Amino acid sequence: MKKLTPFITATIFTASMSCISNAHAEWKELGYNEVMAVYVDLDTANVSGEKVQIMSMLDFKRPGRNPNNKETVNSIIGLNEYNCPEMSYRPIAFKEFSGSKGTGKVVSDNNTPDSKFEPVINDSWTAGVFNVVCQRK
């Protein structure tokens, strides 16, 4: 597949996020703990060499709070990129929602196309997504 520039990737993400709703996304639950449930939409997986981009959703069991605007956050949907051989990931863009499973008001809309790759930590939500996308490719 063609490699996308960060700007194009963020633009595609913004366009796809405006279309996503629970009725359209094919969310697959990967697991949960006392803090959150983690979902991915496998149809959004985009492989480029050793890297994979995919949409994921965190659905919190207890509301959080956005540190900048102090609004309540119950879920986050984001586009992340995983570097499979390096066991690392980076956020490209994400939206925080006031409701569960990506519903309600958009609390914040964040584009981070130049973010740095960070290690995937065992037993984290990123490890769950990493295991799915890097085994799938």
Residue 33: inside a domain: yes
Among candidate residues 85, 51, 75, the one with its CA nearest the CA of residue 125: 75
In a domain, 27, yes or no: yes
Question: Is 98 within the bounds of a domain?
Answer: yes
Which residue spans within the chain are E strands per DSSP? Answer: 27-32, 36-48, 51-65, 72-83, 88-97, 106-111, 118-119
Q: Is residue 24 part of a domain?
A: yes
State the total domains in the chain: 1
The pTM for the full model equals: 0.82
1 lies in some domain: no
Q: Whole domain around residue 124: which residue ranges?
A: 6-136
How confident is the prediction along the chain (137 residues), in pLDDT tens digits per residue? Answer: 333 344 344 444 444 444 444 446 799 999 999 999 999 999 999 999 999 999 999 999 999 999 999 999 999 999 999 999 999 999 999 999 999 999 999 999 999 999 999 999 999 999 999 999 998 65
Q: Any idea what the CATH number is for the domain that residue 23 is in? A: 2.40.128.710
